[in-house]
Amino acid sequence: METFSEVLRANALIVAFTVVGLTVYLSYMISKRLTYGRIHGSAIAILLGLVAAYFAGLETEGQRGVADIGVLAGVGIMGGGMMRDFGIVATAFGVQFSELSKSGLAGIVSIFSGVLASFLVGAIVAVSFGYTDPESITTIGAGAVTYIVGPVTGTAIGASSDVIALSVAAGVVKSILVMIGTPMVASKIGLNNPHSAMVFGGLMGTTSGVAGGLAATDPRLVPYGALTATFYTGVGCLLGPSILYFSVRAFA
Amino acid sequence: MVIYGVALLAACLVVGLYVGELLGQLLGVQANVGGVGIAMLLLVLIAGSQRSRALVTGHSGEGIKFWSAMYIPIVVAMAASQNVVAAVDGGMLALIVGVLAVLVSFLLVPLISRIGGAGAPLPPLEDSLQPVKERGRNGNL
């Protein structure tokens, strides 16, 4: 048994391929046999992943889900930023450039309105919870943008560490909700073509959320949503500690 | 050769991320500005040009298609390595902020999609040429 666990630890990424493969297989079986194909297999697989990450987090008290369990460390490599970005770029293969330029304007508008809308929501909720200092309000608003914009903004303007932690939590909630919620609302918000997928990516912005949500809805939409989403965090980090912070200070 | 496609893909990502970092520094932002998006644009442009046909067809193309098909398993692994406990433990404030931000953003999708005219829906999934197609063999997705 000890030897087996040693082999697993020494070949982390390979173990991850096996485990994720089994998870995907199981999910497609569940999709077919229990939901008769109504819930997409990849949506179930993503949900299983999140549930596993929750219990792993309770068990290990770590921050990286199942990747904190020694023998499953490879899942963290496979699902880390490097492989995620590599996979996302690969999905752009087969995309027509004309399709992208046609939606360019809507895409750009969506990025800025997405950052603004999420920030406003976060700032309003922060105020209604009794926060009055512009630093905390801005940081929580920035957390609603993404869990990267929150701490970047908070650190830049000198917010307290518990507010920064809150902003990260808000961003993670958003990201996970987008993963789970997108397939459920896709048909209601017209998310069935490259054009609306680009708008969707720009509005949501959380790369992980958009990546997971679109993959579970229709994998062909992934490249369009991911393209705009990858600009969102940068725009958020640009506006958060500057224009947005100054505007909050003018009001508070 | 399969590696040519993989190398092209990798080179696009490296160049994109580098440009994204530079953009971030230029704007004075502690983040990569659109690096992955720039990489995607590069790949789309290179794949569409006549001169680089050899890099994106045949076996070389298989190298890119493989990673495109690995995308969903990668996303599953990504989901499994999220800090879900922090999201659940963040308390009411974090939960309300997250839920409302997502709801408002969802509602804006149909509004902003009107800019530049609505797109035509994609054909049903079973007509797709994506390698993931064979997974959805139960048709009624």
Same domain membership, residue B25 and residue B6: yes
Cα separation of A101 and A121, whole Å?
30
Same domain membership, residue B78 and residue B12: yes
pLDDT at A46: 82
Determine phi and psi for B33, rounding to 5 degrees: -90, 100
CA B126 and chain centroid, separation: 21
Q: B26 and chain A: CB distance < 8 Å anywhere?
A: no
Going from the C-alpha of A78 to that of each of A39, A74, A237, B65, B76, the distances in angstroms are 25, 6, 26, 17, 9
CB A23 to CB B76 under 8 A?
yes
Chain B residues with CB under 8 Å of A152 CB are 29-31
Lowest-pLDDT choice from A115-129, B32-46, B96-110: B32-46
Reply yes or no on whether the pLDDT at B31 is more than 80: no
Same domain membership, residue B3 and residue B47: yes
Q: A169 and chain B: CB distance < 8 Å anywhere?
A: yes
Cα separation of A65 and A4, whole Å?
22
Structure tokens at A181: 């919620």
Reply yes or no on whether the pLDDT at B140 is more than 50: no
Same domain membership, residue B74 and residue B46: yes
Reply yes or no on whether the pLDDT at A127 is more than 60: yes
Task: Give the A:B interface size as CB pairs under 8 Å.
Answer: 374
Cα separation of B54 and B132, whole Å?
24
Question: For the segment A188-226, what is each residue's pLDDT rounded down to a tens digit?
Answer: 998 989 999 999 999 998 888 898 899 888 888 999 998
Cα separation of A94 and A101, whole Å?
15
Same domain membership, residue B49 and residue B94: no
**Which has the higher per-residue pLDDT, B84 or B136?**
B84
| Average predicted confidence (pLDDT) for chain A | 88
Same domain membership, residue B12 and residue B43: yes
Q: What confidence category does residue A187 fall into, taking pLDDT thresholds of 50, 70 and 90?
A: confident
Residue B135 lies in a domain: no
Residue B131 lies in a domain: no
Reply yes or no on whether the pLDDT at B104 is more than 70: yes
Q: Are B16 and B2 in contact (CB under 8 A)?
A: no
Same domain membership, residue B20 and residue B54: yes
DSSP state of B123: P
Provide mean pLDDT across the span A97-122.
88
- Among A28, A78, A89, A116, most B C-beta atoms within 10 A, so best to mutate, is A89
Same domain membership, residue B67 and residue B16: yes
Same domain membership, residue B67 and residue B39: yes
Please, which residues 36-65 of chain B have a Cβ atom closer than 8 Å to chain A? 36-37, 39-41, 43-45, 47-48, 56, 61, 64-65
| % pLDDT > 90, chain B | 35
Residue B123 lies in a domain: no
How many Cα atoms sit within 13 Å of B141 on the Cβ side?
Answer: 29
Same domain membership, residue B5 and residue B69: yes
Chain A residues with CB under 8 Å of B121 CB are 192-193
Q: What confidence category does residue B118 fall into, taking pLDDT thresholds of 50, 70 and 90?
A: low
Reply yes or no on whether the pLDDT at A95 is more than 90: no
Chain B residues with CB under 8 Å of A31 CB are 138
Residue B40 lies in a domain: yes
Q: B14 and chain A: CB distance < 8 Å anywhere?
A: no
Rg over alpha carbons for chain A, rounded to the nearest Å, is: 19
Residue B124 lies in a domain: no
Reply yes or no on whether the pLDDT at B133 is more than 70: no
CB B48 to CB A96 under 8 A?
yes
Question: For the segment B62-100, what is each residue's pLDDT rounded down to a tens digit?
Answer: 999 999 889 889 988 988 988 888 777 767 888 899 999
Same domain membership, residue B107 and residue B62: no
**Which has the higher per-residue pLDDT, B108 or B82?**
B108
Q: What share of chain A is helix, strand, coil (3-state, %, to 5)?
A: 80, 0, 20
Total Cβ atoms within 10 A of residue A128: 10
- What is the number of structural domains in chain B? 2
pLDDT at B132: 44
Same domain membership, residue B78 and residue B88: no
Provide mean pLDDT across the span A142-169.
85
Q: What confidence category does residue A118 fall into, taking pLDDT thresholds of 50, 70 and 90?
A: very high
pLDDT at B126: 53
Chain A residues with CB under 8 Å of B52 CB are none
Question: For the segment A22-51, what is each residue's pLDDT rounded down to a tens digit?
Answer: 999 999 999 889 877 777 787 788 889 989
Q: Which domain holds residue B88?
A: 83-116
DSSP labels for B4-44? Answer: HHHHHHHHHHHHHHHHHHHHHHHHT-SS--SHHHHHHHHHH
**Which has the higher per-residue pLDDT, A175 or A234?**
A175
Residue B47 lies in a domain: yes
